[in-house]
Amino acid sequence: MSKPIDRVEIITGIHRRRRYTAEEKVRLVEQTMQPGMTVSAVARMQGVSPSLLFQWRRRMSEGGHEAVRADEEVVPVSRVRELENKVRELERLLGRKTMETEILRDALEAARPTKQPWHVPSLPKGNTR
């Protein structure tokens, strides 16, 4: 016979998913790495999907390898998106200013007085040299 359910979790509010902090994720992944523990056992004990734990383990290991390979710190995806949005906005503003500059240059050229062609005054009729 199956074991009775120890706890029931009811998710309320507009969010349909549970949110885990980075510390909780690290703690759960570290539990899966302890001798004698499996991902499935930790998932059952903590009420987490085993596939989610596998995903966190993979991300943690890949992030560590990427940081070592690049010799840089690992940056969260949210920060990357934020910076990409900022770059996009700055590029948009630069394009706008470039267009304004071109319009002003054209207006300035149109407003400049044009040089009149140089005319040699004609001699009065009947006057010969």
Q: Which of 6-20, 52-66, 75-89, 110-124 has the highest mean pLDDT?
A: 75-89
- What confidence category does residue 9 fall into, taking pLDDT thresholds of 50, 70 and 90? low
Domain 7-74 has CATH 1.10.405: no
Q: pLDDT per residue over 53-106, tens digit each?
A: 888 888 888 776 665 565 567 777 888 899 999 999 999 999 999 999 999 999
Domain extents for the chain?
7-74, 77-110
Task: Kindly give, in sequence order, each residue whose CB lies less than 8 Å from that of residue 7, ignoring residues fewer than 6 positions away.
Answer: 47
Q: Which residue has the higher pLDDT, 17 or 38?
A: 38
The predicted model scores a pTM of 0.44
Question: What does the pLDDT read at residue 105?
Answer: 94
Q: Which residue has the higher pLDDT, 112 or 101?
A: 101
DSSP secondary structure, 55-106, as one string: HHHHHHHHHHHHHHHHTS----HHHHHHHHHHHHHHHHHHHHHHHHHHHHHH
Question: What does the pLDDT read at residue 96?
Answer: 96
Q: Using CA atoms in the order 7, 43, 51, 25, what is the torsion angle rounded to 10 degrees? A: 100
